[in-house]
Amino acid sequence: MKISIIGSRGLPATYGGFETLAHYLSLGLIKKGYEIIVSCKYKNKDERIEDYEGVKLFYPPINSPRFHFQYFYEVFSDIYFFYALSFKSDVIYILGTGVGSFSFIPKLFHKSKIIANVAGLEYKRDKYNGLQKSIIKLNTILLTLFADVIIVDAKVLTKYINPHFQKKIVYISYGASEIEDIRWDDKKLQTILLNENEKKIVPNKYWLVVARLQQDNNIHTIIEGFLKSDSTMKLVIVGEYSSKKYKKDIDKLLNRDTDSKILMIGGVYDRDLLTMLRKNCFGHIHGHSVGGTNPSLLEAMMMKNLIIAHENEFNREVGSQTILYFKDSSELTNLINAIEKDPGKYLALRQNAHSRVKSLYNWDKVTEEYENLFKCTVRGE
């Protein structure tokens, strides 16, 4: 069976949930004897990797001419992928709804089966304006119409899909893998820390946030809650801004940080460095509020982090009673104070979270579920 995966930035995975899914799923299926193609973002020919551990990588023919045409370029790239890969694939697996309006294309040229992962509620994200949200919602509706199978990575997402398409829905979660410890190395920090004060980060003496810096990930709420707390630790925030406006809003909050407790270190794409930061934090604060199963939450649970997550149905489904929850900055402040006052009281949560994610969200289980789905879809079952 030949399977093409469209919608990620490509392999190897360095960024984002879709990239992580494409990485582990494609490598898992390769081991089972499938032919896998993964679409990638444009690279010059001398920079391209044509094969990654047996997975064939497929690139768009031209580069984006200008940054402000990026959206249109990505749309046309995916249309190209739909057309070109339809001749090479028994199954086309689409990650995300961005070009759902064109997902009928493979059916015009080949009998490829279309499987779509609708991800989270992208059209509810605050970073988009009204027009953008309407376009994303339309793409979502059309993708669910054209797809043979709709995948949701969280059970609660099912209720947000049109009742007419409920029979198409299959639940398959994201996965998480055991991650080896990385020895603490101050030299690694020198690549991300900007001043002498920041070099005072020490293992188990900082809270950590790993997320895109956008409003629905509640970075502002986390900063407000942390600044109001009695914590003497650092708050290390890893991630890049999604908009200049939100950066201005965060900068205003950071002006209140007179003790330099908050470190905005930008995106970290060195896997070892990111793992070192995650493995050695005192606690992990997870602010995501829109979407299904978030990979960064699963990874934090797998690393036995003590986790405080935003209170919503998606995080509750993943974490259940093994993590703590906050609705606003005041609740976060109270939790931070309570945990730092008596950390031993919360030690069991770390192991419980690890046991839960290892049992319910592991890549071997996820890959097996996808394999069964692909077989049944191709047979028309």
Only one residue has tokens 């939450």, namely 297
Q: Are residues 211 and 246 in the same domain?
A: yes
Q: Are residues 108 and 119 in the same domain?
A: yes
Task: Locate 152 and state its tokens.
Answer: 């949701």
Q: Are residues 303 and 269 in the same domain?
A: yes
Nearest to 315 by CA among 353, 295, 288: 288
pLDDT at 67: 57
Nearest to 289 by CA among 162, 133, 176, 126: 126
Q: Are residues 343 and 198 in the same domain?
A: yes
45 falls within a domain? yes
Q: Are residues 366 and 323 in the same domain?
A: no
Nearest to 172 by CA among 160, 155, 156: 155
Whether residue 216 contacts residue 290, with contact meaning beta carbons closer than 8 Å, is answered with yes
pLDDT at 269: 84
Q: Are residues 54 and 169 in the same domain?
A: yes
The CATH number linked to 238 is 3.40.50.2000
Q: Are residues 346 and 371 in the same domain?
A: no
Strand partners, 39: 58
223/267 Cα distance (integer angstroms)? 17
Q: Where are the beta strands (DSSP E) in the chain?
A: 2-6, 35-39, 51-52, 55-58, 91-95, 113-117, 149-152, 169-171, 206-210, 234-238, 262-266, 283-286, 307-310, 324-326
Q: Are residues 118 and 233 in the same domain?
A: no
34 falls within a domain? yes
Only one residue has tokens 């920090």, namely 189
Q: What is the pLDDT along the chain (381 residues), one digit of tens a residue?
A: 999 999 888 888 776 788 889 999 999 999 999 999 999 988 888 889 999 999 999 999 888 766 566 777 888 888 899 999 999 999 999 998 878 888 888 888 878 899 999 876 666 676 677 777 788 788 888 888 999 999 999 999 888 888 888 999 999 999 998 888 888 988 888 777 766 555 678 999 999 999 999 999 999 999 999 999 999 999 999 999 988 999 999 999 999 999 889 999 999 888 889 999 999 999 999 999 987 888 899 999 999 999 999 999 999 999 999 999 999 999 999 999 999 999 999 999 999 999 999 999 999 999 999 999 999 998 887
171 falls within a domain? yes
pLDDT at 137: 82
Q: What is the pTM of this model?
A: 0.88
Nearest to 366 by CA among 94, 16, 90, 23: 23
180 falls within a domain? no
Q: Are residues 368 and 349 in the same domain?
A: no
227 falls within a domain? yes
Q: Are residues 341 and 197 in the same domain?
A: yes
Q: Are residues 47 and 113 in the same domain?
A: yes
pLDDT at 196: 53
Q: How many structural domains are present in the chain?
A: 2
DSSP state of 197: G
Distances (CA, A) of 222 to 167, 319, 329: 39, 19, 6
Q: Which domain holds residue 265?
A: 186-360
pLDDT at 189: 84
40/44 Cα distance (integer angstroms)? 12
9/41 Cα distance (integer angstroms)? 5
Q: Are residues 355 and 375 in the same domain?
A: no
